[in-house]
A and B are shown apart, each in its own frame.
Chain A
Amino acid sequence: MNVHREDRTGWGDRDLLAGVAGRDGAAFSAFYRRHLAEVLAYLVRETGDPELAADLAAEVFAAVLLSAARYQSQTDSALPWVIGIARHKLLMSWRRGRIEARARRRLGMEPVELDDLALERVDQLAEAGVGRLEQMLDELPQMEREAVRWHVVDEVGYDEMAGQLNCSEMVIRKRVSRGLGRLRNRLTEMGPA
């Protein structure tokens, strides 16, 4: 991809998003390329459909652009934030029975055709991205890993998890919170992809 040639690859996510808010197209380009694979990995895993995943990924990054100025984080990596946006877009799509296109409509983006080449590219990118996500999850303590997977990935409610694990909701909430905290710290340590 040769959309922008300015080198922003050494920048942290926080700086890139600040740049995006300041109309720096190269900063957006760097951010997009940095996180596209992880976003696709997450969406392919959730939907099992490369076509839907690609469509939603476009929507996710349009939302990133709209929200860049409001990004706030204690850590440098914005991946949890981006994955949160992806999860929200996915949930909205399932709930409404259509692919979310809210951010793209607001930006006035033109529809883009998905061809076979693009779908192959989705698989390639998702495969590359899934490794990083899985690696981070696998490094969590077992109970925290299960809690994060159940709640964040499989969207099981705290009450249901508590019932199945025979413990209080508070315990589950703490496990999820600690797990996500570790993920954030790990992402910061790993730095940009």
Chain B
Amino acid sequence: MSSDFFEEIERQLVAATESGVRRRRWRRPWLRRQRLPWRAPTVGIAAGLATALAASAIAATLTLPASHPKAQVASRFARTRSFTTAGVVPSGFQPESFTAISELTWWLLGTAPCGSHTCTAIVRTTDGGSTFTRIPAPPTAAVQNLRFANARDGYAYGGLQLWSTHSGGHTWKLSQVRGPVEELAIADGYAYAVMSTTTLMRTPVGRNRWRVIHGLGRGALSGLWVQGETVIIQSGSRMLISNDQGKHFSRARGVVRAGDCGYDAVADPFAIWALCTTGMAPDDILLSTNDGNTFTTAAQVPNGPINAFAAAASSVAVASGQGPLYRTTNSGGTWTPVAAPSADWTYLGFTDATHGVALGSFGTKRRQHGRLYYTTDGGASYHYVPIGPT
């Protein structure tokens, strides 16, 4: 065979094998699923991460992973249009990204058929999921993630596009970005975004004044998590923590040599959960109850690799591999099945210790449909939330 695709792939992989598998950092989709960048009241934060986090948590914003369509095959999956007007929930709406600012007010970004195309759509509920309506989406097919800081200010992003609204979605404005927007989180009046895995930027919510945050070292950035004035991010192999909205970062001992890690933290009592991977499987879930100085490894979640994870409390978390949902109530000591239907769970998140959502993908791979589920008992059980015309 002449020098072809497979030979070149083999050459590169053999070279990687012999060089010792030097991994590059990359964005973490499950981190987006698990992250709970809770908005916090602006209060004086005493020293200590636990105190900082305990003082916050009045609302939550949860998101799903962004997609970076590969140009070579993007046409197979491409979305071409969006619903840019308000109206009823389009028939066949498939949720992809969830964001909430309270137990009652949520938004979902997803797709729905529009003629012979698949279009981006955003729907909103202000009554905890009883009814939904469609709000205008940015005039692009490129966004796959949605975050709202409050009823007016929100961000939709994906790939090289970052759109912001300061009118509750009535109008959207495209921002200039430095590269692909990998992650975006909102807390305490600021939006933070990781761009191109190398730059962490911040802007006051309500304005589009993105500024670079320095002091993060040269490592590739991933695992952004924010709450109140606290910012956690992974830079290279280091876990960095800031207690002053990113002005200063210090290194936590964090997770050492465990591969790529994403973080999820809960308050009262404070704990940091980490989901780390060094390859396909198994993923490790780790827990720290001492501000990230040391971590203990949880029991393996059945049916790994882990596809979705979220922590409700310092001892309670839910996770899903390639099958049912599992839940731990003893800090990862054991995992037991959750009362929920069997699905490919693509997103899990909690707004507080008891309320949370899950997005499941049902059907076969060629005929999948997404469904939203809600829990009011800390992930012990989930019930279906229909998203349709009211």
Are B13 and A65 within 8 A (Cβ)? yes
A80 to chain B, nearest CB (A): 13
Is B24 within 8 A of A110, CB to CB?
no
Partner among A25, A52, A91 whose Cβ is within 8 Å of the Cβ of B73: A52
Contact across chains for A95 and B17 when beta carbons are under 8 A apart: no
Q: Which residues, 53 to 105 on A, are CB-close (under 8 Å) to B?
A: 54-55, 57-58, 61-70, 85, 88, 90-91, 94-99, 101-103, 105
Contacting residues, chain B, for A7 (C-beta < 8 A): none
**Given A95-B344, A118-B5, does the pair A88, B364 have CB atoms closer than 8 Å?**
no
B361 close to A (CB within 8 Å):
yes
A98 to chain B, nearest CB (A): 5
Instruction: Give chain A residues whose Cβ lies under 8 Å from the Cβ of B17.
Output: 20, 23-25, 27-28, 65
Task: Verify if A159 is at the interface (C-beta below 8 Å from B).
Answer: yes
The answer to whether residues A106 and B72 also contact, given A88-B322, A91-B365 and a CB cut-off of 8 A, is no
B9: min CB distance to chain A, Å = 5
- The proximity string for A residues 100-126 relative to B, scoring 1 for CB distances below 8 Å and 0 otherwise, is 011101111110111101100100010
Please measure, in the bound complex, the distance between the C-alpha atom of A94 and the C-alpha atom of B29, giving whole angstroms: 15
CB <8 Å contact, A118 and B18: no
Give the distance to chain B from A21, nearest Cβ to Cβ, in Å.
Answer: 9
Q: Which of B12, B24, B70 contacts A98 (CB 8 A)?
A: B70
Give min CB distance, B182 to chain A, whole Å.
Answer: 11
Residues in A whose Cβ lies below 8 Å from that of B76: 49, 52
In the bound complex, CA of A68 to CA of B388 (Å): 45
Closest A residue to B69 by beta carbon equals A98
- Write the nearest CB–CB distance from A152 to chain B, whole angstroms: 11
Taking the closest CB of chain A, its distance from the CB of B26, in whole angstroms, is: 5
Cβ contacts under 8 Å, B47 to chain A? none
- Nearest Cβ distance between residue B141 and chain A, in whole angstroms? 11
CA distance A62 to B14 in the complex (A): 10
Decide: A158 and B342 in contact? CB cutoff 8 A.
yes
A156 to B368, CA, bound (A): 12
Q: How large is the interface on B (under 10, 10 to 19, 20 to 34, 35 or more residues)?
A: 35 or more
Contacting pair B278 A66 (CB below 8 A): yes
CA of A127 to CA of B178 in the docked complex: distance in angstroms?
Answer: 45
Bound: A61/B2 CA distance, A: 20
Specify which chain A residues have a CB less than 8 angstroms from the CB of B72 in the assembled complex: 51, 55, 99, 114
Closest to A160 in B: B342
Within 8 A of A (CB), among B7-34: 7-26, 29
By a CB distance below 8 angstroms, the chain B residues around A157 are 342
A113 and chain B: residue at smallest CB distance? B5
Q: Look across to chain B and name the residue whose beta carbon is closest to the beta carbon of A111.
A: B72
Q: Is the CB of A118 within 8 A of B368?
A: no
Contact between chains at A105 and B6 (CB < 8 Å): no
Could you tell me the dominant secondary structure of chain A's interface residues?
Answer: helix
Of the listed stretches B264-272, B279-287, B379-387, name the one at the interface; the rest are far from the partner chain. B279-287
| Residue B352 is within 8 A (CB to CB) of chain A in the complex | no
Interface size counted on chain A using CB atoms at 8 A: 65
**Interchain CA distance A77-B278 in the complex, whole Å:** 22
B4, B278, B366: which contacts A121 (Cβ < 8 A)? B4
Q: Does A138 contact B (CB under 8 A)?
A: no
A55 CA / B9 CA spacing, docked (Å): 10
**Whole-angstrom CA separation of A107 from B20 in the bound complex:** 10
B355 at the interface (CB under 8 A from A): no
B12 & A114 in contact (Cβ 8 Å cutoff): no
Bound Cα distance A29, B11 (Å): 8
A36 on the interface (CB 8 Å rule)?
A: yes
Min CB distance, A47 to chain B, in Å? 9
Q: Determine the residue in chain A with the shortest Cβ distance to B305.
A: A88
Quick check: is A11 within 8 A (CB to CB) of the other chain? no
Instruction: Let me know if A107 and B16 touch, CB within 8 A.
Output: yes
Chain A residue contacts of B342, Cβ below 8 A: 157-159
**Cβ of A84 to closest chain B Cβ, rounded Å:** 8
**How distant is B123 from chain A, measured CB to nearest CB, in Å?**
19
**Is B69 a contact partner of A97 (Cβ separation < 8 A)?**
yes
A26, A27, A67, A97: the one contacting B279 at CB < 8 Å is A67
CB B104 to nearest CB in A, in angstroms, measures 29
CA of A113 to CA of B341, assembled, Å: 41
A–B Cβ pairs within 8 angstroms, 20 of them: A1-B10, A23-B18, A24-B17, A25-B17, A25-B18, A28-B14, A32-B10, A64-B280, A66-B279, A91-B365, A95-B344, A98-B70, A107-B16, A107-B23, A112-B5, A112-B8, A118-B4, A118-B5, A121-B6, A158-B342
7 residue pairs, one from A and one from B, having the closest CB atoms: A67-B279, A66-B279, A118-B5, A97-B77, A25-B14, A25-B18, A94-B365
